[in-house]
C-alpha cells in the first residue's frame, strides 16, 4: 500500500510540475506579446525567437529548482555522438527530401511556380537604411536559424526532453510499439504539443472576447508529428534526432513555400 501511494504521489508530482511549467510559460509569453517584445520580434526579426528561447529557459529553471541535472533535458554529448542518431537522421532527412521534391517541388515547377523562403518584412531596409539585397540575406539567415535551431531544437527540448522525459521518470514506460519502449510521457507530450499549436495565436490578454477559434486539423497534424518525434526520442535516448527531423520539417514544409 505504501508503495502504491508513493507511486501515485510521484505521478502527481510529475504531471503537476509539467502542467505548472507549461501554464507559466504560456502566460509569460502571452504577456510579453503585450509589451515591446511582441512588436520587436514581429518587426525586427520576423519570428518569435524569444518564445522559443523560453522553451529552454523554463524547463531549465524547473531543473535548477528541483536540483536535477540538465542532462534530463535529453541533450548530451553522447547523444550527439550516437551512431544510431546519425543513421536515423540521415535516413529521415533523405526521406523528407524525396517527399518534398516529388510531392511538392516538381508538381509546382511543372506549373511554373518556384519555392521561396517565408521571409520577415523589410524592416531593416525601411528603418535601418540597409540595402534591400542585404536584408534579404539577413531574412534567409533568420529564417533558417529560427526554423532549424530555435524551432527544431527548442521545441524538442521543451516537449520531448522536458515534458516527455519528466513524465517518463514519474510513471515509467509501460508500452511498446515498433520495438520502441515508451510510456504516458510520449502520449502526454504529443497532446500538449498539439494543444500548444492549437492555441499558439490565441492571447487572452489581447483578445478580450476570450473566444478561441481552434484549428483541429493543425492539432491532429502536430499531435501525429509529436508522436513520431517522441518515438525517435525514446529510440535514441535524447532530443538530437527528433530535433534535426523537426527542423527540416519546419524548413521544408513551413518556411519554404510556393506562391499561390
List, for residues 144-194, the tens digit of each pLDDT value. Answer: 889 999 999 999 999 999 999 999 999 999 999 888 999 999 999 999 999
Give the separation between CA 171 and CA 189, rounded to whole angstroms. 13
Give yes or no for residue 204 having a pLDDT over 70. Answer: yes
Give yes or no for residue 84 having a pLDDT over 60. Answer: yes
Tell me which DSSP letter residue 119 carries.
Answer: P
133 or 179, higher pLDDT: 179
Give the separation between CA 50 and CA 231, rounded to whole angstroms. 28
59 contacts 162 by C-beta, under 8 angstroms: yes
Give yes or no for residue 125 having a pLDDT over 70. Answer: no
Give yes or no for residue 6 having a pLDDT over 80. Answer: no
- Report the share of the chain in percent with pLDDT over 70: 92
Give the separation between CA 230 and CA 178, rounded to whole angstroms. 13
- The predicted pLDDT at position 47 comes to 83
- The predicted pLDDT at position 179 comes to 87
Give the separation between CA 99 and CA 114, rounded to whole angstroms. 16
25 or 212, higher pLDDT: 25
List, for residues 27-61, the tens digit of each pLDDT value. Answer: 999 999 889 888 878 777 778 888 899 999 999 99
Q: Specify the pairing of strand 116-117 against strand 256-257.
A: antiparallel
Give the separation between CA 240 and CA 153, rounded to whole angstroms. 8
- The predicted pLDDT at position 61 comes to 94
Mean pLDDT, range 87-107, rounded to an integer = 91
Which residues are CB-neighbours of 163 under 8 A, at least 6 positions away?
18, 22, 185, 188, 189, 192
120 or 209, higher pLDDT: 120
Domain boundaries, the chain: 2-68+82-257
Give yes or no for residue 4 having a pLDDT over 80. Answer: no
Mean pLDDT, range 229-233, rounded to an integer = 95
Give the separation between CA 79 and CA 77, rounded to whole angstroms. 5
Amino acid at each position: 500500500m505504501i508503495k502504491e501511494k508513493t507511486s501515485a504521489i510521484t505521478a502527481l508530482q510529475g504531471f503537476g510540475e509539467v502542467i505548472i511549467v507549461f501554464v507559466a510559460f504560456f502566460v509569460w509569453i502571452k504577456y510579453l506579446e503585450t509589451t515591446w517584445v511582441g512588436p520587436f520580434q514581429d518587426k525586427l526579426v520576423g519570428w518569435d525567437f524569444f518564445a522559443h528561447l523560453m522553451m529552454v529557459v523554463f524547463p531549465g529553471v524547473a531543473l535548477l529548482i528541483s536540483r536535477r541535472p540538465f542532462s534530463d533535458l535529453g541533450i548530451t554529448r553522447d547523444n550527439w555522438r550516437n551512431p544510431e542518431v546519425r543513421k536515423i537522421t540521415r535516413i529521415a532527412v533523405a526521406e523528407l527530401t524525396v517527399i518534398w521534391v516529388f510531392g511538392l517541388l516538381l508538381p509546382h515547377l511543372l506549373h511554373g511556380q518556384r519555392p521561396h523562403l517565408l521571409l520577415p518584412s523589410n524592416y531593416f531596409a525601411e528603418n535601418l537604411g540597409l540595402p534591400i539585397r542585404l536584408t534579404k540575406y539577413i531574412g534567409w539567415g533568420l529564417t533558417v536559424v529560427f526554423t532549424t535551431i530555435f524551432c527544431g531544437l527548442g521545441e524538442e527540448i521543451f516537449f520531448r526532453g522536458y515534458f516527455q522525459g519528466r513524465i517518463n521518470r514519474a510513471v515509467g514506460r509501460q508500452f511498446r510499439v515498433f520495438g520502441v519502449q515508451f510510456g504516458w510521457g510520449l502520449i502526454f507530450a504529443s497532446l500538449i504539443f498539439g494543444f500548444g499549436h492549437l492555441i499558439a495565436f490565441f492571447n487572452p490578454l489581447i483578445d478580450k472576447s476570450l473566444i478561441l477559434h481552434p484549428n483541429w486539423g493543425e492539432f491532429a497534424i502536430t499531435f501525429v508529428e509529436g508522436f513520431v518525434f517522441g518515438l525517435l526520442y525514446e529510440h535514441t535516448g535524447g532530443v538530437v534526432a527528433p530535433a534535426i527531423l523537426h527542423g527540416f520539417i519546419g524548413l521544408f514544409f513551413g518556411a519554404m513555400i510556393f506562391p499561390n
